[in-house]
Chain A
Amino acid sequence: KNGAGTSSHKQGNHEGLPLRVAVASNFSPTAHKIVTSFEAGTNAKVSISSASSGKLYAQIKQGAPFDVFLSADAIRPDLLVKEGYAVAASNRVYAHGRLVFWVPGVSGNESTCRQLLYSGQLTRVAMANPDVAPYGYATRQTLTALGLKNPVFTLIFGENIGQTFAFIHAGGVAAGFIAASQWQLSNRSGCAWEVGTQYHAPIAQRAVLLNRASNNALARRFLDFLHSSKTQAKIKASGYLLGDQ
């Protein structure tokens, strides 16, 4: 009952058909950069579809025409492999997410920034929903580790890390835990504390080759390109830790 495989009418990489990459929203700005350089190197066309990892997972199971899946977590690629929708051998971590605690309205160094969490000055702090988003899950671990399991401030949950950033950007919340990649992209005003990996389990983001593209050479080339050291350097520069530890 391999839906993706049987129902696909456009199996493999035929000339002119773009490679379809499903990308978790949080990685999509970086993915665009990667794709641009990949396209330049291969003359192939790659289209990016971004949504939350949860949506993409559900869609892939319903036969979505994606060739490669760049998830924001490890759970969903693993599940896809287990359920027979993805090629097991291709399932690799392409990046690790990093958390940043950001207070745009206050200037100061990392430690003053971190102290703000305890100061009581903050009434609200934004974070990604721990039940839904990997960054949220990591944030919760971090808060626990910081002894802030029942903080004085109200936690505002974003549907994902993108929305969490939007909360702060729009001026709705004064501070929040966002992805380092986002902080890189922003104007980096105010103060920020880069949360160390000791506070939470790694936010491993895995990429898999989906069944419909198991014979697609271009897809394999894209995955290779993703894991290549040149790309990995780019990913690191965008605010992630490197893939395979």
Chain B
Amino acid sequence: MTNLQALYQQVILDHGRNPRHFSQPEHAQIDQVCFNPLCGDKIHVYCDYAVDRKTFQALSFTGDGCAISVASASLMMVALQKKDSAYFYEAFDYLKRLLAGEAVDLSTIDAFSAPEDIANMRRIQVIAGVKNFPMRVKCATCAWHTMAAVVEGGSEPIKTE
């Protein structure tokens, strides 16, 4: 598999073309936007919290972007439905380690014990193909940074470069 094939694996192409949870709710408690001024890409993440103020009740996104950024956002959406911020940080940390080139053993991460969690994280593994394309890493993390801002309750638009 060439670097390019590793980058554009079927999962990426599929999620890039048919992003999941891709919709703009009429009302969202939180609407956070990530904007890349150098290329013009823009991703909105919408979120409602459950009554416990912790669980992501409704989580969706919209935006214009390349296959990598849309697929990464879509995979994140799938993984985070009905999860909470602690889980998000675990997942983001996992992604960062993958992007740093680490071979992560999923079974060592307590947060990912349910079969569904493991399946989601396996899919997220394909995003790591971007590590050989430094200029594109920002595409892969754009939605995740936006999500971090959602969790931290910021309201300023997020920028990546």
Asked if chains A and B come from one complex, the reply is: no
**Chain A residues within CB distance 8 Å of chain B:** none
